[in-house]
Structure 1
C-alpha cells in the first residue's frame, strides 16, 4: 500500500529496477497492468525515465493533436471566417506552412533546415506582434498591398523605427497572400471531387507540408525519438489514404467544399496511431482486460482499489437492461443489442483470473491510500481476499523521512537521478526539523558528487537555499544601463518608488508588454491633451477671450480642433471599426463638454490661461524651458523632463500668481502621503518648474497659486439633483489639488462666489462675513509658503535619492502597498518576471504609512530647521 499514486509508481519502478539489477530479470519479462491508465499515464513515463526504465505503454493515441490536423482545421477556418486573427496564427504556429522557396532542399543538412526554420519562426513571432497591435484581419491578409504602419511612443513623443517589423511581417503576409487566395479560389471553382483533391494535394506540396513532415521525422530519428518519427509518417500516410478514399468515392461527383472540409477534419480526428514497441527490452504497460495467462514472468497490478477492481458498472444508456433483453428476444440471430449490465458484471471475475494468472513467477498487487482527492480509498475485495486467505503481508510504502534507517532508505533509491530527489526531500526536512542526516546519506551525497550528474545535483540542491531576492547591480554595470547622467520623467521616478524592480524591468532591462489593438489609456490621454492644447492655442493665436465666446462659437472651435486631430496618424485606430467610430464619437463629445465647462470656468474665475503643453527639459529632439537638473553622487546629474498641460495666471493689485493645471482622464486627488513617499511627484515638480521659469513664461517673477487636476470626462448627472444642470456640470469639473493659503489669491480665484456659498470651481467657500477660506473638510489641500517650500525641497531630494540608488545598482523587490491596495502590483505586467510571492518570508510589501498633513509638515519643517542649524 502506497501513500499516493506518485509513491505507488515510484516504488513499483524501484522494485523493477532492483529485479533487473540484482536478480537478473529482463525488462521485457515484466509487465504493469492497470484498470485506470488515465490516472497513471501522466506520471508513469516521467517516473520510469527517472529510474532509467525503458517502457512501452500499450494504448492507442489519437491523431487529433498532431500539427497536421491543426493545420488542416485552421486552413478551413481561414476560409470560413475570412482570415480571423486566431485562425491565421493557429495556421502559422503549426510550422507546417513554410513555402518551397523558404525551405532547405532535401540535399541540405538538418542544420541548414533548423536555421531556416528558426528564421521563419522569428518572422512569425514578429508578425503575431504586428497583428495583435494593429488588428489585421480579413482583407488585410488577402490584399496585394503591403502593410504600412506607424508605432508611436506616447511617453517619448516620437515615432519608433518599424522598418524591420514591416519587412519581416510583410514577408509572412506575402507568403500567405501568394498561395491562400488562389488555393481557395481554385477549390471553389473545382467541378469534381478529383479536381478538388488534385488542387488540395498540390497546395500541400507548395506550402511545404510534405517537406516539413519529412524534416521533423529526420529530426526525431536523430534525437532517438522513434515513436515520434513514426507518428509524423503515419499522419501523412493517413492523410494520403483519406485523400485516395475521397477520390474513390467522390472523384466523379460534383464538388461540395463544405462536405470536403467535414470529411477531412472528422476523418483525421477519428484516427489513431498504430503503435509497436520501439525496442525489444521494454517494460510493457497495458490494460488489465488485454492481458493473458502467463504473459510475463513478473506482473505488477497497480491501482487495485474497490472502485475499479471489480469495476463498478452502471447503465447510463437510454434503454434499461430489461428493455434491451426484450428487444433482443425479438431480433433474428444475426441481430443484437450490446450486452446488458449483468453480463458485464459477470465478466469481472474472468478479468481478475487473467490478472492473477498473468505472471509466471511473481505477482505484485498495489494500491494507493489516496487517489485524486484527499479521501482515503479502500483496497479491492480481491486484494483483501488473497491477502487474508494466503496470509500475505501488506507492505506500507511511504516517502523517505529523515528518521528512516539505512535499510528503509535504500529501498527508495535505484539510480543517481532518484538519489537527487531523495536527498532534496531529506535536506528540506532537515531544514524544517533541524535534525541531522544519517552518515549513510552523507556518504551517498559524496558519491553522487563524483558522478557525471553532479552539476545537475548541485543546481537542485542550491534551490533549497534560493531566495527570491534580486541581487544588487554593480555600479560598473549600472552606468551602461542608465548612463552617468540620468534623463528621466516624473512618471519614471514615481514608478521607481512604487517598486524598484518594476523600474529596473521597464527602464533597465527595457521589457515591454506586447501592444494589443485598441485605444490604450496613453493614447486616450494624448488625445485629450492634444485637443485641449489646440483649443487654447487657437484662442491665444486669435487673441480671443474664452469667457467672451458664445456657446456656439465654443462648439465650432471644438469641432475645428477635433477635425484636425482625428486626421492625425497617431489616432488612426479610431477609424478602423464601427466600435472605434463609436469611441471616437464619445471622445469628441467629451471634448465638447469640457470646452463648455472651460468657458464657464473662465467666466467665473480670475485665472487666465497663458501657456499650454509647456515642455521642460528635453523630450526626443524637442527642447523646452529649463527642467530640474540635480546633482548625483557619481558627479553626474539627474535631468527631469516633462510637459505641463496648462499654466494659468492670476494678476491682483498686489501680486502675480502662477498655477499649473494637469488634465486627467480619470478622477484624481492630490494625496499628501503619496507626495511624501515619492508616489505622486508630478504636481509638485510641475509647480516647481513653473515658478523657476516664471520670467520666461510670463515675463516676471510670480507667486505660486497651486497645482490642480482637471478631470476630463463626459459626466453623468443625477436625474433628481437639487441643483440646476449647469451647477451639477460645474461641480463635476471642479478643480482638485494643492492650493496656496494666501488670502489675496483666494479672494480672486472665484469672482462669482457669494456669502455662505461653496465654490463650484475650487475647494473654497465664502463665509457669512464674506471671508474666503478653504472649504469644509478641505484644509489638507491648502499650504502656506513655508510648507510649500518644504514640499518642493523634499520633492527634489526624492529625485536625488532615487537617482543615487539607480546609479548605485539598487534593485529591491519592494512593491508599495497603501491601505488595502497593492498599488504597485495591481496593474504590473512584470509579475511573471519578479515572481513576487507574499507567502515567501523574504518577499514583503513596502507598506506606506498613512500620515496626516500635520505629521508630514512636522517632519519636513523639522528637517529643514535641523539642516539650517547644521549650516550655521
Structure 2
C-alpha cells in the first residue's frame, strides 16, 4: 500500500538535512529497492554532490539512490521500458508553428460576422481571426500566446472548452478574444497531429503511461524536496506514484505559527499560500488513491539530526552564527509588519544594510564587502552568493567593477542568441531581405562583422561617408562599391555575399512569393560560408578571455553550434513548407528570440550571482542582496497582452486553472524575498541605490523597511559617510582620483614646512607614494598627477608651421575671419587641419536656409531687367508673388544640390511648408522695398577683398540703390539674408564676430565711387533679414498684416540723415513697420539702430582693420582655446562640432570664456570713430 508523509519546517530548520539522511537510510536498508530524490531541475547537480559528500554516506557513492527532477523522471521512464523518446518541439518550435498557423488563419476566407450559438465544429473549420488579426504579426503577442497554449495543455483545458466558455460571456470584446485563442489553440494542435509532432506537455502525458507500467517505479521510495508547488502534469505523476506500492516523503516550508492554518486556503495573500495549496492538492490525491497518510514530521519542534525536541529560544542550526535571522523567521510579514518592534538597540550581529548614492557605488561597495570577507575573514569565493532582482540594470556594472576588483563571479543568467555576434550578422542580412538595400540596413550588416583590420575599417568608413552624402538606396547603388581589383578585401566579399543572398531570395520570383523553406535556408548557409563567418567570430573572441569573461566567450562559441542546430531543426521540421522572404526572416527571428545560451561556471571557486525566483542557493556563508530599492521591489508585474486580470478571474471562477494573477504574483514574490533573507549562515548584506541610472530617485523598498523594523538597533549605513577600503593598487588609484584634486588646487599650496609634513601624513599621499614606486603603476600615476595639475596652456604654432598650414595668402570668406575671432582653436581645426563633419543626405537647417536664399535670388532676378519702372513694380508685384514663387521654387529644385527635398514623405511635407513660408517672406521683402525708393540693383553680387597677405571672396545677397538726380546722390543699402534669428550687435562687430555687413557695404561704396565718381555716395542702411514665417499671438481687433511686417522688420544700422530716411521709408510714422527705428515726436536721434554717416563710415573702416588684424594673428600661428560668450544662451561652443577635440571645460583651470566688451555702446562708438580718425591721420 502506498503512503504519504509530510515534513514541515521553516527555513533553516534542517528539512534537506533530514531528507538526505532519510534517503541514505532507506537506500542502505534494501539495495534492491530504488530510492528517488526529486528536486527542481536546477538543483539536481548540486544535490547529487551534496548527497555524495554527506558525512553519513560512508561509501561516498550512490547505487540505488538517484537524484532526479520531474522532467528527468519522465524521460527515464522511456529508457526503463526501452522505448524511443519521440522528437519534440521545443519553445522555439512552438513559436514557429504558431506563427505559421496564424498566417494560415489570416488567409482563410471565413465569415466576417460570427454566428450566435454556432457549433464548435463549424466554428473551428471556417472561422477566421477576429480580434487578434493584427497582433499575430507581433513577436510579443506570439510569445504570450504560446505560453497561454502551454498553460492550457498543462492544465488540461481543451480548445472546445474555451469556446464554450466564450459563449457564456456577455462582453463582446472578451468573447472575441477567447474565441480567437481557442481557434489558434485548435489550429496549433491540428498542425501537430497532421505532422505527427509532440510538445513537452504531450511527452509528459506519454511518460505518465510509462510510469504506470515501469517496474522501477513500483515499491520505490520517493523523497520530494525544494518544491513550493506542482504543475498539473507533476500532480498526475504523483497520482500514478500513489496508485502503486510507493512511499512518498514530501518536505514543505512553513513556520511554526502557520502550522495550524495549513488547510485554510481562503487567504491567497498568506505568505505560505503555496505550501498550503500543495498540501491540499497532494493530500486529496492520496485520499483519492486510498494511500496511507502518515503523521507529519514537524522540524519546527524536533531536531532534524537527533530527533530530540527543540528547546524554546534555541535558534535553528543554520542561524547559529547569525541568530538575528531567527527573529526574521518568526516575525517577518506577520501581524506587525512595517512597525518597529520592541527589542535591543544593539545592532544585530552579521547584518549590514547600506544605502548607496547610485548603482555604480552600490556594486563597488558590495565588491569591497566581498574582499573583506575573503581577505580578512578567510572566506572562499564559493562561500558567497549574490542576489539581484533586476540583473539587466546591474549586468554591465558588475562586469566592469568586479573585474577591476579581481572578483571571480558567475552570473546565473541565460544569454539570448540576440547577444551573439554570429547571430547579429545573420539578423542584419535578414533585415536587408525584408526592407531592401537602405543605408541603415546595409551598414548595420557591414558593421556587424567583428574586428576587421584598420585598413578594412577605413574602406567601410569611406563607403559609409559616400552613401550618407548621396543618400543611396537600392541594390544598384550599393553594387557600385564592388569595383574591380578589390576582390581580396573582406568588405568587398561581405557586400558581394549579401548581394548574392538577396538575389537568391528575390531573383525571378520576388521575396513576397512563397518558396520552399529548405531552399531559403540553403541560401543562408551559403551566405555564412561565403563570409567565412564562423572562423572570423571564433578568432575575435580571444579578447573576452583577456577581460575575464570566459563564461561569455564559451557561450558565444556555443552560439555558432546553436544556430547550426536551429537551421537543421527548422529544415527537418518545416523544410517543405513554402513561405515568403519576410516569413523566412520572421521564422529565424522567432527562433533566435527563444533560444538561450546556457552557461557553465568556468571554475568552482567563484561568487554565484543570481535572481530572486529562478536561482537556488544552498545556504552560503555570506549572502548579498543588492537592489533592495522601491524601483525593483516589489516588482511591477506588467499587463498581459491577451487577457486582462478581470478576464483571467472570470476563467478561474469557471474552474479553468491558469497562472497566478498579478496581485497573487506580488505575494508570491514576498515569499521569495522572505526566503532570501533567511539564506545565509553567517553574513547578510542588504543594499539599495538612492539614484537610478536614469537619474530617477529611489528609496528603500517596503520589504527592506519591514525587515529593518524588526531590529530597532539596526541602522542603515550611508556609503558616502564611510571611507572605502583599499584592497589593490587599482582601488588605490581610484581613491587618489577622488581625494588628490581637493588637496592639490593652487589655493592649497603649502607654504610652511610643518603644514607640508602634516598633509603628507594623509592616506592619499601614502597611496601616491606607494603607486609612484610601483613600476606597474608609475606611468599611470604620473598621468594622474598631470591631469590633476592640468591647465589650459596656450602654445601657438610656429610661424613656419602656420605658413605651411595656411599658405602665404589667407584665403576664404568673411565667415572664416569671424570664426577666428570667435575661437582661434576652432579656426585652426577647420582651416588648418581641414577637419569637417560628415556629409549627409538628410535635410538640415542650413539646407533650408540655402533653399530660401536660392528662391529669393531667382525671384528678384526677374525684376532686375525692369528696374526703374516704378509702375511695373507697383502693379505686378502681387501677380508675381502668385506666379513667380512657384517658378522660383521649381528652378531651385532643379539644382542637384536640392534634390533631397524631393525624396521622402518628411521632405515633401517640408517642401510644401517652405513654399507657403516663401510667399510670406517675399511678401514682406516686397513691402519693405515698395515702402521706400531704393530698388534691388544686384542680387548675389560677387564680393572680393584683397590686401597684402589676405584674399577673401563671397556673395552679397542683395544691394538696393536709388539715384536722386536732383541732388546727384546715390543711396545704397546692403541686405544679408539669414535663415536663423540674427540681430546686429555693436559689441560683436567690435570683437570681430560680425564683420560681414560693414565689409560688404565698404565694397559696395567703393564700387559705386568708381562707377559714379562725380556723385555723392551715401550708405543708407546695413540690414540682416531673417527668412521666417513668425507665429503671432492672437489679439482681437489687431491688424495682422501690420503685426507680421513688424515681426519681420530687418535688423541693422540706419543712416539717420533725413534725406536717407525719407528714401528708405516714405511713410514717416512714429513707429516704423519697415525699419528698426522709432521716432519720438516726429524727430530722430542718434540711438540704437540710428547712427550718423560719420559713425557708419568709421565702422566700415574699423571692420576692415579688425579683419586685417585677425589675418596677422593667423599668420603668427595663434590657436588658443579661448571661445567667446556672445550672450547668456549662446557661446562659440553652442553649435561647434569640435568640442570633443578641444575638451573645453570650465571646471578645469584656465578654461574660461572670453566675454564681449561690456562698455556702453556710446563708449564703443567713440573709440571706433577715434581709431578711424587716427588711421586717416596716418594716411595723410
| TM-score exceeds 0.5 | yes
Task: Give, in whole Å, the separation in 1 of the partners of 2:856 and 2:675.
Answer: 85
Task: Give, in whole Å, the separation in 1 of the partners of 2:895 and 2:602.
Answer: 64
Q: 2:940 aligns with which of 603, 610, 613?
A: 613
The 1:338/1:479 distance shift into structure 2, 3 A limit, reads same
Task: Give, in whole Å, the separation in 2 of the partners of 1:337 and 1:541.
Answer: 83
Counterpart of 2:602 in structure 1 is 278
Task: Give, in whole Å, the separation in 2 of the partners of 1:243 and 1:123.
Answer: 32
Counterpart of 2:415 in structure 1 is 61
Q: 1:367 aligns with which of 686, 689, 700?
A: 686
Counterpart of 1:252 in structure 2 is 576
Answering whether residue 593 of structure 2 is matched by residue 230 of structure 1, we say no
Q: 1:640 aligns with which of 952, 956, 978?
A: 952
Task: Give, in whole Å, the separation in 1 of the partners of 2:362 and 2:958.
Answer: 72
Q: 1:708 aligns with which of 1019, 1022, 1036?
A: 1022
- 2:816 alignment partner, SS class: helix
Task: Give, in whole Å, the separation in 1 of the partners of 2:1148 and 2:1130.
Answer: 17
* Residue segments in structure 1 that go unaligned for 5+ positions in a row: 97-112, 149-163, 358-362, 402-408, 618-626, 631-636
Counterpart of 2:222 in structure 1 is none
Name whichever of 339-348 and 646-655 sits farther off: 339-348
Answering whether residue 994 of structure 2 is matched by residue 680 of structure 1, we say yes
Counterpart mapping for 1:293-312 below 5 A: 293=618, 299-303=622-626
- 1:123 alignment partner, SS class: helix
1:394 positional shift? 9.6
Counterpart of 1:124 in structure 2 is 460
The answer as to whether partners of 2:866 and 2:872 remain within 8 angstroms in 1 is no
1:269 positional shift? 1.5
The answer as to whether partners of 1:655 and 1:703 remain within 8 angstroms in 2 is no
1:576-606 superposed Cα distances (whole Å, 9 cap, x missing partner): 3465456556656777777777777777754
Task: Give, in whole Å, the separation in 2 of the partners of 1:476 and 1:284.
Answer: 63
Counterpart of 1:95 in structure 2 is 449
1:732 positional shift? 7.8
Q: 2:947 aligns with which of 621, 629, 653?
A: 629
* Residue segments in structure 2 that go unaligned for 5+ positions in a row: 1-351, 692-696, 749-757
Q: 1:480 aligns with which of 797, 804, 807?
A: 804
Answering whether residue 804 of structure 2 is matched by residue 450 of structure 1, we say no
Name whichever of 173-182 and 412-421 sits farther off: 173-182
Task: Give, in whole Å, the separation in 2 of the partners of 1:834 and 1:80.
Answer: 43
1:351 positional shift? 5.3
1:861 positional shift? 3.1
Answering whether residue 456 of structure 2 is matched by residue 141 of structure 1, we say no
Task: Give, in whole Å, the separation in 2 of the partners of 1:252 and 1:659.
Answer: 82
1:220-252 superposed Cα distances (whole Å, 9 cap, x missing partner): 568875434323322222222222221222123
The answer as to whether partners of 1:475 and 1:808 remain within 8 angstroms in 2 is yes
Counterpart of 1:100 in structure 2 is none
Q: 2:585 aligns with which of 254, 258, 261?
A: 261
Q: 1:784 aligns with which of 1088, 1092, 1100?
A: 1092
Answering whether residue 1114 of structure 2 is matched by residue 806 of structure 1, we say yes
Q: 2:730 aligns with which of 390, 414, 417?
A: 417
- 1:276 alignment partner, SS class: coil
Counterpart of 1:182 in structure 2 is 504
1:684 positional shift? 0.7
Counterpart mapping for 1:727-766 below 5 A: 737-746=1052-1061, 748-749=1063-1064, 753=1066
Task: Give, in whole Å, the separation in 2 of the partners of 1:787 and 1:814.
Answer: 30
1:265 positional shift? 0.9
The 1:643/1:700 distance shift into structure 2, 3 A limit, reads farther
The 1:733/1:628 distance shift into structure 2, 3 A limit, reads farther
TM-score normalised by the chain length of structure 2: 0.57
The 1:63/1:738 distance shift into structure 2, 3 A limit, reads same
The answer as to whether partners of 1:562 and 1:588 remain within 8 angstroms in 2 is yes
Counterpart of 1:824 in structure 2 is 1132
Task: Give, in whole Å, the separation in 1 of the partners of 2:1058 and 2:871.
Answer: 25
1:492-525 superposed Cα distances (whole Å, 9 cap, x missing partner): 2223333344434433343333333344444444
Task: Give, in whole Å, the separation in 1 of the partners of 2:1039 and 2:672.
Answer: 84
Name whichever of 204-213 and 707-716 sits farther off: 707-716
The 1:231/1:557 distance shift into structure 2, 3 A limit, reads same
Answering whether residue 759 of structure 2 is matched by residue 436 of structure 1, we say yes
Task: Give, in whole Å, the separation in 2 of the partners of 1:585 and 1:544.
Answer: 33
| RMSD, matched Cα | 5.2
Counterpart of 1:33 in structure 2 is 386
Task: Give, in whole Å, the separation in 2 of the partners of 1:250 and 1:789.
Answer: 85
Task: Give, in whole Å, the separation in 1 of the partners of 2:1007 and 2:673.
Answer: 93
Task: Give, in whole Å, the separation in 1 of the partners of 2:924 and 2:367.
Answer: 78
1:812-848 superposed Cα distances (whole Å, 9 cap, x missing partner): 4444444543253443333444444556675444333
The 1:778/1:416 distance shift into structure 2, 3 A limit, reads same
The answer as to whether partners of 2:437 and 2:478 remain within 8 angstroms in 1 is no
- 2:959 alignment partner, SS class: strand
1:788 positional shift? 2.2
1:655 positional shift? 3.6
Counterpart of 1:856 in structure 2 is 1164
- 1:693 alignment partner, SS class: helix
Counterpart of 1:104 in structure 2 is none
The 1:417/1:578 distance shift into structure 2, 3 A limit, reads closer
The answer as to whether partners of 1:34 and 1:303 remain within 8 angstroms in 2 is yes
The answer as to whether partners of 2:355 and 2:718 remain within 8 angstroms in 1 is yes
1:694 positional shift? 3.2
Task: Give, in whole Å, the separation in 2 of the partners of 1:454 and 1:231.
Answer: 37
1:358-402 superposed Cα distances (whole Å, 9 cap, x missing partner): xxxxx33323375555646799699989999xx9x999795698x
Q: 2:817 aligns with which of 475, 490, 493?
A: 493
Task: Give, in whole Å, the separation in 2 of the partners of 1:351 and 1:687.
Answer: 80
The answer as to whether partners of 2:1025 and 2:1048 remain within 8 angstroms in 1 is yes
Counterpart of 2:168 in structure 1 is none
The answer as to whether partners of 1:610 and 1:647 remain within 8 angstroms in 2 is yes
The answer as to whether partners of 2:901 and 2:911 remain within 8 angstroms in 1 is yes
- 1:739 alignment partner, SS class: strand
Answering whether residue 790 of structure 2 is matched by residue 466 of structure 1, we say yes
1:133-162 superposed Cα distances (whole Å, 9 cap, x missing partner): 33333xx335687499xxxxxxxxxxxxxx
The answer as to whether partners of 2:971 and 2:1017 remain within 8 angstroms in 1 is yes
Counterpart of 1:206 in structure 2 is 530
The 1:672/1:13 distance shift into structure 2, 3 A limit, reads closer
1:288 positional shift? 7.6
Task: Give, in whole Å, the separation in 2 of the partners of 1:311 and 1:686.
Answer: 69
Counterpart of 1:152 in structure 2 is none
1:398-434 superposed Cα distances (whole Å, 9 cap, x missing partner): 5698xxxxxxx8x822222222122333323535895
Counterpart of 2:897 in structure 1 is 570
Q: 2:977 aligns with which of 652, 660, 664?
A: 664
Counterpart of 2:1008 in structure 1 is 694
Answering whether residue 435 of structure 2 is matched by residue 81 of structure 1, we say yes
1:481-502 superposed Cα distances (whole Å, 9 cap, x missing partner): 3334322322222233333444
- 1:275 alignment partner, SS class: coil
Larger Rg: 2
The answer as to whether partners of 1:738 and 1:782 remain within 8 angstroms in 2 is yes
Task: Give, in whole Å, the separation in 2 of the partners of 1:343 and 1:673.
Answer: 70
The answer as to whether partners of 2:957 and 2:977 remain within 8 angstroms in 1 is no
The answer as to whether partners of 1:367 and 1:379 remain within 8 angstroms in 2 is no
The answer as to whether partners of 1:400 and 1:426 remain within 8 angstroms in 2 is no
1:450 positional shift? 2.7
How many residue pairs get aligned? The number is 788
Task: Give, in whole Å, the separation in 2 of the partners of 1:603 and 1:547.
Answer: 11
Counterpart mapping for 1:545-564 below 5 A: 545=869, 547-548=871-872, 551=876, 564=891
Q: 1:241 aligns with which of 547, 553, 565?
A: 565
The answer as to whether partners of 1:818 and 1:849 remain within 8 angstroms in 2 is no
- 1:267 alignment partner, SS class: helix
